Structure 1
């Protein structure tokens, strides 16, 4: 599976899911169903593609975006947020990792800002577990996935990725400078970045 194939699967799953509080789980279920007939190697390829996209989304400006939208962001929640960016689909993901402030233009983020859907709809941790769950079903051993990933990772070179320049996420002036549109949506005069 190449990145293009991965994104086709994600985009199909995204189209089938609604923007409800269970969006991440819904996308994960569709992906798992699509991968159910895959070979173990194809599932590992899916995981490799997911990890590449997930690493690309590790950016300080995106961490600040999660802080703006949620009012907090731990390591674990940022991982789920990055999965959520993948869950938005290929076109949205590319726009957002290129320009994190483009999150402000996404219809789902605008609905979050208006209070129509919960901000945590972008926390899509279930997407992080699709490959492991499917691999366990295909092989018949829930623990075999991590051994296979470790073996594969030892054979592949790591993608080099820079998360950008780290900055104080508590510096609201800097956050506003880096994310002006997103700040306008979520900060206004009443919310502060922690």
Structure 2
């Protein structure tokens, strides 16, 4: 399965989940599982490889800071959930975030979070990221085999030395303006990333 096909499945799930933000995580999960159970098991595993790669590409300091600002703090697990949530927003928003995470300041869910209309963890979609595992369990009645098949299908880890060298400064001024409480905390805890 190539990345384009992976995105087709994600976009179909996003459309099926429907508009609105309440219960987004479970609506995305259910819609994606509904599609994945129609695939042969090898294709399901291939989907997970691509799906995980999309999330890995977002594992960057600037995306972490966006998650921190929106969530008013962010640990490792919530950051993983946040990256899955960004994939769940669809390819257009995913590409925008890859280009510049500060573009999230234009997203309607982020505005709703800033206004206190929806919870700060709305974009942290834990269940959605485990939809391939849920689909595998439904198809096979087994969860352990998923991890074995995934290990066999996954490419070897990237070679070391691919991270940027030197200090990293991430300027997310528009997001910071929406979440001043988070920005104050961020400046205290991560001054090397915010440039303060």
Do Structure 1 and Structure 2 share a fold, with TM-score over 0.5?
Answer: yes
1:85-135 alpha-carbon deviations (Å, 9 max, x no partner): 111111000100111111111111111111221121111011221111111
2 CA distance for matches of 1:189 and 1:8?
35
Question: 2:73 is paired with a residue of what secondary structure?
Answer: coil
Q: Which residue of 1 aligns with 2:70?
A: 69
The 8 Å contact of residues 58 and 163 in structure 1, kept in 2 or not, is answered as: no
Q: Which residue of 2 aligns with 1:33?
A: 34
2 CA distance for matches of 1:51 and 1:137?
20
Q: Which residue of 2 aligns with 1:57?
A: 58
Which consecutive aligned stretches of 4+ in structure 1 deviate over 2 angstroms post-superposition? 15-21, 156-168, 188-194
Structure 1 unmatched runs, 5+:
169-173
1:72-92 alpha-carbon deviations (Å, 9 max, x no partner): 111111000101111111100
Deviation at 1:146, TM superposition (A): 0.5
2 CA distance for matches of 1:39 and 1:26?
23
Q: Which residue of 2 aligns with 1:16?
A: 16
Deviation at 1:46, TM superposition (A): 1.0
Structure 2 unmatched runs, 5+:
190-196
TM-score normalised according to structure 2 size: 0.84
The 8 Å contact of residues 60 and 167 in structure 1, kept in 2 or not, is answered as: no
Q: How does 1:38-187 map to 2 (within 5 A)?
A: 38-153=39-154, 156-158=155-157, 178-187=171-180
The 8 Å contact of residues 85 and 124 in structure 2, kept in 1 or not, is answered as: yes
TM-score normalised according to structure 1 size: 0.85
2 CA distance for matches of 1:134 and 1:189?
36
Q: Which residue of 2 aligns with 1:171?
A: none
2 CA distance for matches of 1:111 and 1:101?
16
Figure out how many residues of one structure are paired with residues of the other and give that number.
Answer: 185
The 8 Å contact of residues 61 and 100 in structure 1, kept in 2 or not, is answered as: yes
1:4-45 alpha-carbon deviations (Å, 9 max, x no partner): 111122122222324333101110100001111210011011
The 8 Å contact of residues 10 and 89 in structure 1, kept in 2 or not, is answered as: yes
Instruction: Say what the alpha-carbon RMSD is for the aligned residues.
Output: 2.4
